[in-house]
């Protein structure tokens, strides 16, 4: 009886540890990439659009550029959290990404040279919490059902 309880307890501990490692792996805790804000564009004192870059010297896919909105410019840790926790509005490998505001609630994401191809876009939102998003010189990816 004691042996089966010990085995059950050991199995439970191993499963909890494995689940913890998997959780940390898929939420960016082991991501060695460098996260940095490369452009900020304020709509109001409490609303800023950020173009950020995730670079990784070991990755074969190259740098990733992404756009998000917040109430302050994010730190590297906050960028990593947003990157892995669905905070992205737009993400691609195109370095030409810039932002501007039509007004306080409508963000424009553009590519000055139109070099982003549809296959290079990983995330493309049209709306995020209280902010509408439009695109200039960036292909529009059909919404998935």
pLDDT digits (tens, 9 = 90+) for 21-32: 665 555 545 566
For residue range 58-92, list pLDDT tens digits in order: 656 688 999 999 999 999 989 988 988 878 999 99
Please give the average per-residue pLDDT across 31-39, as a whole number.
85
Please give the average per-residue pLDDT across 109-129, as a whole number.
90
143 falls within a domain = no
71 falls within a domain = yes
Same domain, 53 and 122: yes
CA separation, residue 116 to residues 45, 63, 93, 98, 139 (Å): 31, 13, 8, 12, 7
Please give the average per-residue pLDDT across 87-109, as a whole number.
94
pLDDT of 14 reads 77
pLDDT of 60 reads 61
Same domain, 118 and 69: yes
pLDDT of 66 reads 95
Structure tokens at 12: 């439970």
Work out the percent of the chain whose per-residue pLDDT is above 70.
83
Same domain, 61 and 73: yes
145 falls within a domain = no
What range does the domain containing 50 cover? Answer: 34-136
Please give the average per-residue pLDDT across 123-130, as a whole number.
89
Please state the domain count of the chain. Answer: 2
Please give the average per-residue pLDDT across 41-48, as a whole number.
94
pLDDT of 128 reads 85
pLDDT of 125 reads 93
Same domain, 17 and 47: no
Same domain, 2 and 55: no
The C-alpha angle 88, 71, 89, rounded to 5 degrees, equals 15
Same domain, 93 and 130: yes
Same domain, 26 and 40: no
């Amino acid at each position: 009886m004691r042996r089966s309880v010990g085995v059950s307890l050991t199995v439970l501990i191993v499963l909890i540890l494995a689940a913890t490692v998997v959780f940390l792996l898929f939420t960016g805790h082991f991501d060695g990439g460098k996260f940095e804000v490369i452009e900020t564009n304020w709509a109001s004192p409490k609303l800023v659009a950020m173009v950020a870059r995730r670079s990784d010297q070991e990755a074969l896919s190259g740098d990733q550029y992404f756009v998000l909105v917040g109430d302050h410019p994010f730190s590297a840790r906050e960028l990593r959290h947003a990157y892995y926790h669905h905070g992205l509005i737009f993400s691609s490998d195109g370095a030409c990404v810039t932002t501007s505001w039509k007004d306080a609630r409508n963000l424009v994401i553009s590519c000055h040279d139109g070099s982003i191809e549809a296959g290079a876009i990983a995330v493309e939102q049209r709306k995020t919490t209280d902010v509408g998003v439009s695109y200039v010189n960036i292909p529009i990816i059909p919404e998935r059902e």
